[in-house]
């Protein structure tokens, strides 16, 4: 399973890159706005830093606006994936972008049915938002499982990119299902790494070794 970082923050990307765990990045308008400054400069820096796919999202809501923006966003680098919202106009744009070989990530996916439509139209990725569904007491991960079955049934090449991740259990469940990619906030990567028994165990080993040297 590939690990993308769900952020527009360059320091977080550098940290995860140094760990060797940065397979790609997903941004969205909220994450970009948090960084402030000129979004074009920020997008260019992200595309340069990341050796993998970088999702940049369109703002337009009509097919024409999305296609125009997608062409502009794609010019930031070969690694750009254009994020298209899961609305009817987005689906119309998707077909043309697929034909133009512009990579796409259909975002704000909340049901397996939506994912099926995006896959049929050749989306490169679909992003089911599991955390936001869980918050409404719908099981986000169950939907991901159904998407996996549907895509395998028809050999769709669209990759499942699990998004809106809130905790390490989302990561484990996604890996068990066989999701292709998961996009994580920096905090979840830290949570995955940490275990109190590792810290206690290492402290004990080092203390024993120090006592032995005296
Ligand atoms: C995915 O690409 C989105 O940026 C992200 O996961 C949104 O999730 P959240 O805003 O619910 O955290």
Q: For residue 168, count other CB atoms closer than 10 A to its CB.
A: 16
Cite the DSSP H helix spans in the chain: 10-19, 29-35, 39-49, 63-74, 88-99, 112-120, 130-134, 140-154, 168-177, 186-193, 196-213
Could you tell me the domains of the chain? Answer: 2-213 (3.20.20.70)
- Catalytic choice (68, 83, 92, 95): 83
Closest residue to atom 2 of ligand 1, CA basis: 26
CA distance 191 to 9: 18
Q: 103-127, pLDDT tens digit by residue?
A: 999 999 999 999 999 999 999 999 9
Q: 138-191, pLDDT tens digit by residue?
A: 999 999 999 999 999 999 999 999 999 999 999 999 999 999 999 999 999 999
- Describe the crossing of helices 88-99 and 112-120 by its angle, rounded to 10 degrees: 30
CA distance 86 to 134: 19
Cα(71) to centroid of ligand 1, in Å?
A: 23
- What whole-number percentage of the chain has pLDDT above 90? 99
In this prediction, residue 20 carries a pLDDT of 98
Which whole number is the average pLDDT over 13-31? 98
- Describe the crossing of helices 88-99 and 63-74 by its angle, rounded to 10 degrees: 40
User: Active-site residue 83, yes or no?
Assistant: yes
In this prediction, residue 98 carries a pLDDT of 92
In this prediction, residue 154 carries a pLDDT of 97
Instruction: Specify which residues 80 forms β-bridges with.
Output: 54
Which of 26, 118, 136, 163 to mutate to test ligand 1, by most ligand atoms within 8 A of the CB atom? 163
- What mean pLDDT is reported for the chain? 97
In this prediction, residue 211 carries a pLDDT of 97
CA distance 144 to 130: 8
Which whole number is the average pLDDT over 192-212? 97
């Amino acid at each position: 399973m590939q690990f993308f970082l769900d952020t527009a923050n360059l320091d977080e990307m550098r940290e995860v890159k140094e760990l060797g765990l940065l397979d790609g990045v997903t941004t969205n308008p909220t994450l970009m706005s948090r960084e402030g400054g000129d979004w074009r400069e920020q997008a260019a820096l992200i595309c340069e830093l990341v050796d993998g796919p970088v999702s940049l999202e369109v703002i337009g809501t009509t097919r024409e606006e999305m296609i125009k923006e997608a062409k502009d966003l794609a010019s930031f680098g070969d690694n750009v994936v254009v994020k298209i919202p899961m609305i009817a106009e987005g689906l119309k744009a998707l077909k043309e972008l697929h034909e133009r070989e512009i990579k796409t990530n259909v975002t704000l996916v909340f049901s397996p049915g939506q994912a099926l439509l995006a896959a049929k139209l050749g989306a490169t990725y679909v992003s089911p938002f599991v955390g936001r569904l869980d918050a409404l007491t719908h099981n986000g991960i169950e939907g991901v499982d159904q998407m996996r079955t549907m895509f395998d049934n028809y050999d769709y090449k669209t990759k499942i990119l699990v998004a809106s991740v809130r905790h390490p259990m989302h990561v484990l469940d996604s890996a068990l299902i066989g999701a292709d990619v998961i996009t994580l906030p920096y905090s979840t990567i830290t949570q995955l790494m940490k275990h109190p028994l590792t810290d206690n165990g290492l402290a004990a080993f080092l203390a024993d070794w120090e006592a032995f040297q005296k």
